[in-house]
Structure 1
Amino acid sequence: MVIVNAATNLANFRDEIIEELLAEQYEVIIVSPAGKRLAPYKEKDGCQVVEIAVNRHGKNPIQEMTLFMKYFRVMKKYRPICVLTYTIKPNIYGGMAARFLRIPYLVNITGLGVVFDNRNMLQKTIVMLYRRVMKHATCVFFQNKTNRSTFIRLGIDFPCSEIIPGSGVNLDINALETYPAENEPVRFLFVARIMKDKGINEYVAAAKVIRKKYPNVEFHVIGNCEYGYEEKVAKWAKEGHIIYHGAQPDVHMFMKKSHALIHPSFYMEGMSNVCLEAAATGRPVLTTNWLGCKETVDDGRTGFVFEPRNVASLVNIITKFIELPYEEKVIMGQKGRKKMESQFDRQIVVESYMKEINRLADY
């Protein structure tokens, strides 16, 4: 059983493991909120889909208990060999349900999120719940060493853990693309949920500074607006600071046309998927010296690292990149692709999971 908090999470990052499970003759039960991206799984032989809504930002105790009970009932009905959970609510409520039913469960810490960045009652509650769930997990997959160290520091015990390269990157879907022509205007790309912690404010502030000196440079933005950013983004686009494309199902086409990705996040990432995808496409990555971002770049070789929440640092790095000779930009992107091939191939993640699942099946 695979439990996720969004259909897009499933299709974008978990598809390869589901395909591998089906290829090895496992039956797969997918538990996910409704979404268009579920349609292909409903048609696959050996695959069943159970739609359970998840309010990702909800804090209503009754709603949270209802989610736990829904996970409990679906596990009790199907009694899977094991349960795979991703993101915080499936991890906690799915893990609790599996524990009560004595079903093995594999937990993926996809990132700590803003909750672990704020010491408040919500953080204390989540830490308490994680302590109860993690100590009974069959294995906990961390996407970086710092997240694991944070769990240990907070007294969240787990019997077994493994560091995996984020969600990995599909090197076929994110194919290496020819770099834009030398005579084209430099195009930067921001791809993320549009919210403060993803660094959108710093990105736009830097764009305003850079375009005064380099008026032909373009700053593109892709993503859903959160936390009331709709009006701000519309204003920025109208003033010409950014080019906003909304949410896009095919980000790769925009990656292909860009000269570099800028990911100014200071969100508690597990491993930034967009950085991996950009590097796999052969695009240099400019990102923060921040957990889950800095690991995706070899500074000065496959991209550049700048300080988070620091517009001056970002402006300096953007200027440095713009003034690089064209050939060096191309080589930087090619080195990024090689880094993805050697360190972040999604097949590495699939093999880690299959090792644990096959062990449980044999047992």
Structure 2
Amino acid sequence: MALVSNQAFSIFNFRGPLVAEMIQRGCTVYALAPDYDTASRAAVRALGAIPLDCSMSRTGMNPVRDLLDLLRLAWLLRKLNVDASFTYFIKPVIYGTLAARLAGVKKRYAMIEGAGYVFIDEAAPTKRRRLLRAFVTRLYRAGLSQADRVFMLNGDDKQLFVDENMVDADKVQLLNGIGLDLRHFQTTAPALPPFTFLLVARLLREKGIYEYVTAAREVKARHPAARFILVGSIDLNPGSIAESEVRAWVAEGLIEWPGQVADVRPWIAQASVFVLPSYREGLPRSTQEAMAMGRPVITTDVPGCRDTVADGVNGFIVPARDAGALAGAMRRFIDQPELVPSMGKAGRCVAEQKYDVHTINAVILDIMNIKPELKIPAHSLSQ
């Protein structure tokens, strides 16, 4: 198996259980990424996989570079002589799948974790955004035409991709997210007081960062002791928020910003309520992690986000881009603190029913026809 990503960190942090299960079932896994360092290389080796460097940019559209990267990747895959490929994130899905086809890889699988920012609905999209969306649509169409199966995380994304002729409906397998290890994310008692809200995301406009900060300003006017934590790093994406702006919010006393963290669990443990005011998601892992640790969630009524919350059961759903409604949901928790443990418990139940990584991985591996190794007991051999 050649697993192709454009971010080494994601291989062991998000794909670790899947890679480990592939290896346990007797599969050799080559893990390809462009940004390995000593630590990430060691982490991938610890899973039992073989880390390999490949050239691929995370963002940007440079047709010449992307074509060269595709050809280099095809050459590498042909040299490795793998039986199957598994790609995720936009560029690996498009260029990695095409490269696998060129290399003669027999089975090609892709995962769409979210449609991406170019498919977020805008009231008045710019001409540049319309052109970019048309270009990305054609690229997806080309890449996914060469995939045998495509894993997707919510029905809205499936409908979008099918309606835009980016993928055939019969190729799509819906999953309940990428899943998480529920033993790793265990329930902890919520922090009360002080009342603490937490948002974990890349610092992109479309993650609802501005709405979160605006809501924090409104809530702190009435409840100055309330804490608002923002965990995440500045990104290369066009929608990234400037570091100077984030530091200004910190200086104003609105938020706490530890940046990107290696382990989110201590930060979730500090939280009373998890918040994700995103404009569109696949099926957000951050929300699943918070639910697994017994935190209620405030999120938005958009694809992916609304799939994780039953309004009034394990959290509240508010309109996207509506800081006032977001602040109102936050105040409701402050005014009714008894909702925090009850909704948090309900969220943990949902996580156990839907988001167990081992259950989800079993579906993926069954579709890939990667069967458990047949282990013959030693006493049988002696007979």
Name the counterpart of 2:186: 175
Change (3 A) 1:40 1:185: same
Structure 1 residues 359 and 192: alpha-carbon distance in aligned structure 2, compared to 1, 3 A threshold:
closer
Q: Residue 351 of structure 2 aligns with which residue? A: 340
| TM-score, L = length of structure 2 | 0.89
Q: In structure 1, the residue corresponding to 2:316 is in which secondary structure?
A: strand
Q: Does 1:189 align with 2:198?
A: yes
CA distance in 1, matches of 2:185, 2:68: 38
Q: Which residue of 2 aligns with 1:229?
A: 242
Contact 2:202 2:234 in 1 (8 A): yes
In structure 1, the partner of 2:155 is 145
Answer yes or no: is the 8 Å Cα contact 1:220–1:243 preserved in 2.
yes
2:292 is the counterpart of 1:280: yes
Match of 1:291 in 2: 303
Aligned equivalent of 1:259, options 263, 269, 272: 272
Aligned to 2:253: 240
Specify the SS of the correspondent of 2:70.
helix
Taking the aligned partners of 2:178 and 2:372, their CA distance within structure 1 comes to: 23
Query: Which residue pairs with 1:131 in the alignment?
Result: 141
The letter of the residue matching 2:222 is K
5+ residue gaps in structure 1?
Answer: none
Asked if residue 315 in structure 1 is aligned to residue 318 in structure 2, the reply is: no
User: Which letter maps to 1:114?
Assistant: Y
Identify if the C-alpha distance between structure 1 residues 94 and 102 changes in structure 2 by more than 3 Å, giving closer, same or farther. same
Whole-angstrom CA distance in 2 between matches of 1:254 and 1:44: 26
The answer to whether the Cα contact below 8 Å between 1:81 and 1:361 also exists between their aligned partners in 2 is no
* Displacement after TM superposition at 1:359 (Å): 6.0
CA-to-aligned-CA distance 1:55-92 (integer Å, 9 cap, x gap) = 22121112111221222112101121110000110000
Q: 1:199 to 1:28 in 2, by over 3 A?
A: same
Match of 2:362 among 338, 351, 355: 351
**Is the Cα contact below 8 Å between 2:3 and 2:32 reproduced in 1?**
yes
**Using the alignment, how far apart are the partners of 2:113 and 2:149 within structure 1?**
14
Residue 114 of structure 1 corresponds to 117
C-alpha change, 1:258 and 1:238, in structure 2 (3 Å) is: same
The residue identity in structure 1 corresponding to 2:92 is: P
Cα shift at 1:148: 0.7
What is the identity, as a one-letter code, of the residue corresponding to 1:10? I
Higher mean alpha-carbon deviation, 205-214 vs 220-229, is at 220-229
Structure 2 partner of 1:325:
337
1:120-162 deviation line (CA, Å, top 9, x unaligned): 2222222112222223311110110111100111012335221
TM-score, normalised relative to structure 1: 0.94
- Stretches of structure 2 that go unaligned for 5 or more consecutive residues are 374-383
Bigger shift: residues 58-67 or 246-255: 58-67
| Closer, same or farther: CA 318–23 of 1 in aligned 2, 3 Å | same
Q: CA deviation at 1:12?
A: 2.0
CA deviations 1:9-28 (Å, max 9, x no partner) are 11221111111111111111
Partners of 1:143 and 1:43 in 2: CA distance: 28
Cα 1:361/1:72, change in 2 over 3 Å:
farther
Runs of 4+ in structure 1 off by over 3 angstroms are 359-362
Contact (CA 8 Å) 2:198, 2:271: kept in 1 or not? Answer: yes
Deviations 1:285-325 (A, max 9, x none): 11111111111111111111111100111111111111113
Q: Which is worse superposed, 23-32 or 223-232? A: 223-232
Partner of 1:205: 214
Distance across 1 between alignment mates of 2:372 and 2:137: 31
CA distance in 2 between partners of 1:186 and 1:157 (Å) = 45
Q: Kindly report which structure 2 residues correspond to 1:56-95, keeping only aligned pairs within 5 A, or say none.
A: 56-95=58-97
Superposed counterparts of 1:23-62, under 5 Å: 23-33=24-34, 34-35=36-37, 36-43=39-46, 45=48, 47-62=49-64
What amino acid sits opposite 1:130 in the alignment? Y
- Whether the 8 Å contact between 2:294 and 2:344 is mirrored in structure 1 is yes
DSSP 3-state at the match of 2:295: coil
Amino acid at match of 2:9: T
Query: What's the offset of the Cα at 1:40?
Result: 2.1
Partner amino acid for 1:238? A
Q: How many residues of Structure 1 are paired with residues of Structure 2 in the alignment?
A: 357
Q: Superposed, which structure 2 residues align to 1:96-111 within 5 Å?
A: 96-103=98-105, 104-111=107-114
Distance 1:285 1:99, change over 3 A: same
* Separation in structure 1 between the aligned mates of residue 180 and residue 314 of structure 2, nearest angstrom: 16
Partner Cα distance (1:43, 1:254) in 2 = 26
Indicate the RMSD between aligned Cα atoms, in angstroms: 1.8
Q: State the distance in 2 between where 1:262 and 1:9 align.
A: 22
Rounded to whole Å, the distance in 2 between the matches of 1:179 and 1:361 is 39
Q: Deviations over 1:239-260 (max 9, x none)?
A: 1011111111111100011101
2:317 alignment partner, SS class: strand
How far, CA to CA, are the matches of 1:56 and 1:331 in structure 2?
Answer: 40
Asked if structure 2 preserves the Cα contact closer than 8 Å seen for 1:81 and 1:360, the reply is no
- In the other structure, the counterpart of 2:378 is none
Aligned partner of residue 120 in structure 1, secondary structure: helix
User: Which AA in structure 2 matches 1:174?
Assistant: F
8 Å CA contact retained: 1:168, 1:273: yes
CA contact (8 A) 2:148 2:171 kept: yes
In structure 2, the partner of 1:17 is 18
